[in-house]
Chain A
Amino acid sequence: MTAALTLGPIAYHWPAETRRDFYARIADEAPVDTVYLGEVICSKRAPFFEPDLPDLVERLQRAGKTVVLSSLAEVMLPRERQATRALCEMDGIEIEINNAAGLQARAGAPHRVGPFMNAYNEAAIDWLAQNGATHVCLPHELPRASLAYAAAAASQICVGTEFQVFGRAPLAVSARCYHARAHGRHKDNCQFVCEDDPDGMPLLTADNTPFLRVNGIQTQSESYICLAREIPDLVAIGIGHLRLMPQSIDMVAVATAFRQCLDGVIDGEEAMSRLSLCCGATALSNGFFHRVAGRMLVTGRIAASADGR
């Protein structure tokens, strides 16, 4: 048994040229099976990226990748409603839906369910599958026992499962842009200051402990989730797709470490030490999976938690 590797959508406002270069390298060098494209966080950013989309899709598909288009997590304004409707009415390419407005527009046609849809349990997955879902990305905070339960239930109804194994945790979204706020602006006159922070804007506590990252309306973890040691376990419990979230580091090296670990070329410890090198000073964490604080890095033997979750 093994699992596929996927690359989630870029959460940040990277300049168009950076994105083009990034995906060109992913197409040529990264051992990932599936690439998710699209602006998920802020609808104001989409126009910078959309003109390149057809070429990127073609480039990645030519390299043998499955390409999926992801929809916005927050849908409120007319332009967000319109963008979601337009995406969800597309055919000829797979889409991943991140908001119930997208489910309504999709009207039961096949689709993937994104991590912002809150598919926490077998009952929700079953409902979504009855209404066209073929594949579900489970919420990043689900602990191991629930992941195993959800994966088993999904597999019985032939629904694919996916889980984030690398990158900052998507802790929260808001209607308010905290990037703009940090610069004394608001969302409508933000001047795209989020472009200055390609890996998120750090927030430190009063005693200078790195704590969170701001990415426009999104709040992320300071640490990168890294479930490399847990790969054999994730495969064993039936998670079929492991998602890497793009960060401003060498993502080809990250994908290669995960791929080699999946293939048994290197073990989890070796993968962890390679990934630590890739990530520089950024802390790694795996707490959510082990049912402790998400920020923590559990290094000991993987044990079932006392309450069965």
Chain B
Amino acid sequence: MTIAELVCPAGTPASLRTAVDAGADAVYCGFRNATNARNFPGLNFSTDELAAAVAYAHSKGAKVLLALNTYPPAGHVDLWRDAADAGARIGVDAFIVADMGVAHYIARRYPDIRLHLSVQAAASSPEAIRYYCDNFNVRRVVLPRILTIPEIRRIAQDIPCEIETFIFGNHGLMVEGRCSLTNYVTGLSTNMDGVCSPAADVEYRRESDGAVSSCLSGFVIDRFASDEMAGYPTICKGRYRAPHRPEGYYAFEEPVSLNLARLLPELIGAGVHAFKIEGRQRSKSYVRSVVSAFRNAVDDIRAGREANIAGLLQLTEGGKETQGAFETKKWR
């Protein structure tokens, strides 16, 4: 059986402490700038905050993984190198990277610090993963959320590094690191700025019939009846019209959350080393509930007991959950 390490989100120093106290084996976080893919207002860490957070986590036996998982635009590479230098000075346990230039810099400069390949690198085959292992000594790959469990099992047998998979939280539909929908609509880039459907561009507009339009930069991403709860206008979760779907439909995915709690034993059996919980933008209480529930579930499974996962459903988006691609190829 693999270690089944629980990797938990930390958007702020407070939620980092919460995640560690709730039983996280590792937390992942980023600096307060474009070097990570959750560059949202009010989130992330200064250098001093990260130093304090690493000290706290290490004192409790937890690891800190620093996300440097965006793509530096040409001429701005130093921001990412400086972030790597700061992370190394502070003593983070691993860097999570996507860009080959950033990976090469860290592999050469800090060969003793572990490199994890971010989901933003979109490595979804043994050959692609081996490319990063062979060239940058990547020790763990975070797999895109597009593979079935039998496919994960086959990959695990074919690569020389550990596997981390997402098990809970927001369910991104596009291949991570290959999506410029937000930049097309708002002028801020997911890959270069770490921004996705930014709150500053969101507007909820009341229509004359009482409906509420959920808009991003003036585009109606979804429209809700007056008695429905209006959802956040994430472009890949919008309701659009198409020639065969004049009534409007969720062209990419329903607004659901990923929840693989039921599949944990199978994922462990497939050779997954670490489970990642999404949600650096989430509240402390959310982090506490989800991390505790998964801590108990993983401990139960490792002890050969049936895991109790009922409490997790109420935390998923609108109470609706999916096992996404992991359960069946028909998701595709």
Contacts and interface: CB of A to CB of B under 8 A. Distances in A.
Q: Which of A81, A85, A172 has the most CB of B within 10 A?
A: A172
20 contacts: A75-B125, A76-B125, A80-B125, A81-B127, A99-B125, A100-B127, A104-B134, A124-B99, A124-B100, A125-B101, A141-B180, A150-B74, A171-B180, A176-B173, A176-B252, A178-B251, A186-B329, A203-B242, A211-B240, A212-B240
Nearest to B179: A172
A201 B242 contact: yes
3 A-B pairs closest in CB distance: A123-B101, A175-B146, A149-B75
A121 B180 contact: no
B187 A291 contact: yes
Contacts of B100: 123-124, 127-128
A65 interface: no
Given A176-B332, A188-B330, A293-B187, A146 B73 contact: yes
Nearest to A84: B127
Interface of B: 71-77, 98-102, 104-105, 121-128, 130-132, 134-135, 144, 146-147, 151, 173-175, 177-181, 183-187, 189, 191-192, 213, 217, 219-223, 236, 238-245, 248-249, 251-253, 325, 329-332
B315 to A, nearest CB: 24
Interface string A67-87: 000000111100011001100
Interface residues of A, number: 76
B127 A219 contact: no
B127 A105 contact: yes
Nearest to B146: A175
A175 B122 CA distance: 11
Contacts of A99: 125, 128
Interface string A208-241: 1101101000010100000000000000000000
Contact of B174 (A214, A219, A293): A219
A292 interface: yes
Interface string A113-127: 000101011111111
B255 to A, nearest CB: 15
Given A75-B124, A121-B101, A146-B73, 16 more contacts: A74-B122, A74-B175, A80-B125, A100-B121, A123-B77, A139-B71, A169-B184, A172-B178, A172-B236, A174-B252, A187-B329, A188-B330, A205-B219, A212-B240, A221-B184, A294-B185
A181 B244 CA distance: 11
A96 B144 CA distance: 23
Given A140-B180, A205-B221, A292-B187, A178 B252 contact: yes
Given A120-B74, A173-B178, A206-B213, A76 B191 contact: no
A4 interface: no
Nearest to B135: A131
A182 interface: yes
Given A101-B131, A118-B99, A172-B174, A203 B240 contact: yes
A218 to B, nearest CB: 10
A229 to B, nearest CB: 19
B102 A183 contact: no
B191 A141 contact: yes
A201 B146 CA distance: 23
B203 to A, nearest CB: 13
B241 A204 contact: yes
Given A101-B128, A118-B191, A183-B244, A76 B239 contact: no
Contact of A204 (B105, B132, B179, B240): B240
